[in-house]
A and B are shown apart, each in its own frame.
Chain A
Amino acid sequence: MSSKWRILYNRLKFNLAKPHIVIGIALVLLLTALVVIPFLQLVYDTAVWQEADRRISRTAEPGEWTLFHYKRVFSSPLSLNVFYRPLLHSLETSLAISFFAIILGAMMAWLVVRTDMPFKTLIGVFAAIPYVLPSYTLALAWLNFFKNERVGGAAGIYQFLFGVPTPDWLAYGFVPIVITLSLHYYPFTYLLLSGALVSVDAHLEESGEVLGANRWTILRRITFPIVLPALVSSFILTFSRALGTFGTPYFLGAPVRYFTLATTIYSNIVNRTPAMAYISALVLILISVLIIYGNQRVTGSKSFVTIAGKGFHHRLTPLGTWKYPAFLVAASVILLAVFVPLFLLIWQTLMLYPNDYSLGNLTLHYWIGKSTPAFAEGEPGILRNAQILGAAWNSVKLSVGVALLAGMLGIFIGYVVVKSKKTWLSPLLEQQSFLPYLIPSIAFGAIYLSLFTREIGPFPSLYGTFLLVMLVCLAKNLPFSARAGISSMLQVAGELEESAIMVGASWQRRFRKIILPLTLTGALSGFILTFIATMRELSLIILLVTPSTRTLTTMTFRYVEQGYSQFADAIIMLIVILVILGESIARKFGKGR
């Protein structure tokens, strides 16, 4: 054998004996199945005739190549309404939401981290809470307050108070979507930026001061460039979330036919023109990818880099007479983002007849009432309602299951990425697990719908199974669990494991005794994040659930559509309670170790 082949042969032989290479190859195959193949299937489906197309075109030959769907979406009489207007709406709302969310988040972060605002610890604790709530909580609360009679059913508190119907522009469409989602998404910026602000060493700013720069110059020339990567990350995160979110634009937009790409995807699926939905999904993905890579080009390698080293001390900016006004502003943001909406929702669940805001109308019927034909077609209160309890059980199963699996997968991905640093396996796996980040939620759901509604080789169709819902949540949450896994593994997988290799510990033993105990704490935060995200997930799974697999979030959706806002709101409260419960159990478990 020539020496070149000998080297290759030896490499193969010795590498296949290494556990991390074997696991890595298995993971690459798994992620290919979970992410890459579904994506290719989606692209394929946009370019061939579908069975359903027989209804709209006589020339349809299912399985044959065609540009029909593309023409229909981009250049047909329908295009303006099914594509261009929704595209414009998606872009204008996402941009406006990102803008306001970043301003709100940056203001909160600066006030909490860098000023002497009173009660800032308290504000800091509450500031991240909107993240925990389902994204459309505020939308439903908004409807409770501003709803007019356009969609039928009872009008909101606004009409009760002022005696006139709410104008459409205030009740539905662009304005409320931007307001509610900005209040929902600002925690991204708040969390990322306060992290960056904490790690900016005050010495950097002080050396500017020594050179005679004034406060404004320091902020502009030193602090801002340092926290810029965090701001860029916040923008990407907020924008791509806003782009892919379905609940809020649907609840607040549909009544006035204000559609976004996300909601047209849904209606195209419902109207059985899936290929058109998939094309819209592709456009959403394309926009996300452009934004993310465009930003990376602009900020260069600086993006996503956190500042190394801890700042030793910070000087707080004295607010002087602005101390209390600043507190009031911060407090009202939290009030509007968390407490007012939750109060409105709870109140709504306690009203026997909608639109009657008297105390005598208060009831617990929608929580614990028995079935009576007088209300809601005889549906019992949610705590007695077998369907809702079933959905709650599904939600819990789903969230805990996905969080555990994602956490495990994250640990394995982290292990392989860190251990095989010098091979092609590491970057490949890292990029594969980042891929779902580029794909907006509703588009991701569409992808899975496209692939798994048919048999694939020996595997039966997964549509309608709980497994499919779990898989999609698992795949969509991969970027976060992989990140968590990689960062906790960075400290463990090097010499700490090698010193166990040196004394002859087997891989199983190393994993059980060294790697797992040391990464569990890091993985726990990933677990909690995934748990919360899955518990309040709607956009991702709305296309995939069937009556037997429905979750609390999809039940809410159904009740809103049917006009039973009491039930819908009560279920949201149930979700909030379950999230808080789950998180505190997880934390307790983490502390007990």
Chain B
Amino acid sequence: MAQIELKEVSKRFGQTVAVNRLSLQVEAGAFLTLLGPSGCGKTTVLRMIAGLEVPDQGEIRINNKTVFSSAEGIFVAPAKRGVGLVFQSYALWPHMTVFGNVAFGLQIHGTGKQDIEDRVKTALAYMQLQGMERRYPQEMSGGQQQRVALARMLVTQPSIFLMDEPLSNLDAKLRMEMRGEIKRIHRESKATTVYVTHDQTEALTLSTNVAVMNHGVLQQLAPPQHLYRRPANLFVADFIGSPTINLIPGEIVQEGDSPLFKGEGLTFHCPPLKPFVGKKVIAALRPENITLSREQDEPCVRGEVYSVLPAGAEVIVQVKSEESMFSVREMGDLSLEAGDPVYLRPAIESMIFYNREDGILIYPADEP
């Protein structure tokens, strides 16, 4: 059952279209990440779900209740939507103690004094902030402030958690730690979570589903692994993965009775591409799906090592072939140096193909 439902939601700010006819469903208990470059509209989507931004058009339903409808002129205030929100800046009130920050929402609801005390204590303990009630936010580290912000959201027990780039202000080590915390909170509370980030690693590690957005338009909504293996279009293919996916422009021609991919320096038979004969395409291949070899072996691309970037367990090798540059991910040590001649052997079976005209995936078909 869908717990959050967006139907054809649009929002513009002046002349810019922030979100364009977006439809989206989030199942109960899911962890959906809105991912995209800055300015793609992901934060606006989150704020519209929260009720901090009023859409121009469309409909939003939360827990089977319409909270916004342009046709019916319905708008439900944020606090009545049963959602909790963690902000990018944490937005802790600097003139209140940790206790005051966490208790504020309960005080608004008129919760009894003793009850407030107990619930705040529990929430703080849950976030491992025991004994910090009397501190002020400025006296705490970034990680601790983030924990307070999470405790403040948890204490009112919303059925939906919304998080707007909550980890972007933390350093790499704390970010890892807090990722674990957020995953734990989601696992233990089973609350539906919508999470906004521009960091693909964060999106891939945390989510059950990822929605990739660009220019206010939803590009693809899929589980992380699927998103990585079968990007629905060239934008997603290029945006997801580091180093970025290798793109080889070419076309499909008929040779004898078998279709042939003819690209720059790379030609191979590929029977399943039969329906696309005569089309200009782009073949895409992840860096880990290429192996390097010193001997020639069909099909392969001849190139020259441009630069070698060791990164601990793996090595990224950039190889220049004619005009194009390939990234290759190799495990273990590699006795290669810049300038060495080398052959790239692509794993043909892992290749995916896009229509060059509209950038849409044509093969393999995107299974649901």
Contact = CB atoms under 8 A, between A and B. Distances in A.
B57 to A, nearest CB: 6
Given A6-B71, A7-B56, A504 B105 contact: yes
Contacts of A514: 93
B116 to A, nearest CB: 13
Contact of A518 (B52, B73, B94): B94
Interface stretch (A442-450, A492-500, A559-567): A492-500
Given A3-B57, A503-B108, A503-B156, A498 B75 contact: no
Interface stretch (B81-89, B187-195, B301-309): B81-89
B185 to A, nearest CB: 17
B85 A502 contact: yes
Given A6-B70, A14-B54, A495-B87, A503 B93 contact: no
A281 B57 CA distance: 51
Contacts of A14: 54, 75
B167 to A, nearest CB: 16
A335 to B, nearest CB: 42
Contact of B73 (A13, A503, A513): A13
A421 to B, nearest CB: 9
Interface string A28-62: 00000000000000000000000000000000000
Contact of A498 (B52, B83, B94): B52
A504 B83 CA distance: 11
Contacts of A495: 87-89, 91
A394 B26 CA distance: 65
Contacts of A3: 57, 70
Given A7-B57, A502-B84, A496 B75 contact: no
Tell me the interface secondary structure of chain B in the complex.
loop
A347 to B, nearest CB: 49
A3 to B, nearest CB: 7
Contacts of B104: 500, 503, 505, 513
Nearest to A520: B95
Given A9-B73, A504-B79, A517-B95, A499 B56 contact: no
Contacts of A518: 93-95
Contact of A502 (B54, B57, B79, B95): B79
Given A7-B70, A10-B73, A13-B73, A499 B152 contact: yes
B213 to A, nearest CB: 20
Nearest to A506: B108
Contacts of B263: none
Given A499-B85, A502-B85, A10 B108 contact: no
A501 B88 CA distance: 16
B117 to A, nearest CB: 17
A491 to B, nearest CB: 9
Nearest to B153: A502
Nearest to A509: B108
B78 interface: yes
A591 interface: no
Interface residues of A, number: 26
Given A11-B56, A503-B108, A498 B13 contact: no
A310 interface: no
Interface in B54-109: 54, 56-57, 70-71, 73, 75, 77-80, 83-85, 87-89, 91, 93-95, 104-105, 108-109
Contacts of A17: 75
Contacts of B332: none
Interface string B136-164: 00000000000000001000100000000
B191 to A, nearest CB: 15
Contacts of A496: 91, 93
Interface residues of B, number: 31
Contact of B108 (A6, A7, A505): A505
Given A6-B70, A7-B70, A514-B93, A502 B50 contact: yes
B14 interface: yes
B85 to A, nearest CB: 5
Nearest to A6: B70
Interface in B225-282: none
Interface string B19-56: 00000000000000000000000000000001010101
Given A7-B56, A496-B93, A504 B77 contact: yes
Given A11-B56, A514-B93, A518-B94, A504 B108 contact: yes
Nearest to A510: B108
Question: Which of A500, A502, A513, A518 lies at the interface centre, i.e. has the most chain B CB atoms within 10 A of its CB?
Answer: A502
A10 B88 contact: no
Contacts of B70: 3, 6-7, 10
Contacts of B88: 495
B91 A503 contact: no
B78 A501 contact: yes
Nearest to A503: B105
B80 to A, nearest CB: 7
A6 B93 CA distance: 38
A496 B137 CA distance: 13
Contacts of B13: 422
A181 B80 CA distance: 61
Contacts of A498: 52, 85, 87, 91
Contacts of B156: 503
Nearest to A498: B52
B79 A503 contact: yes
Interface string B188-227: 0000000000000000000000000000000000000000
A504 B91 contact: no
Contacts of B85: 498-499, 502
A9 B74 CA distance: 12
Contacts of B91: 494-496, 498-499
B137 to A, nearest CB: 11
A188 to B, nearest CB: 32
Nearest to A505: B108
Contacts of B79: 501-505
Given A14-B54, A498-B85, 16 more contacts: A3-B70, A6-B71, A9-B73, A11-B54, A494-B89, A495-B89, A495-B91, A496-B93, A498-B87, A499-B93, A501-B52, A501-B78, A502-B50, A504-B80, A505-B104, A518-B95
10 contacts: A10-B54, A14-B54, A14-B75, A496-B93, A500-B93, A500-B104, A501-B79, A502-B50, A502-B85, A504-B77
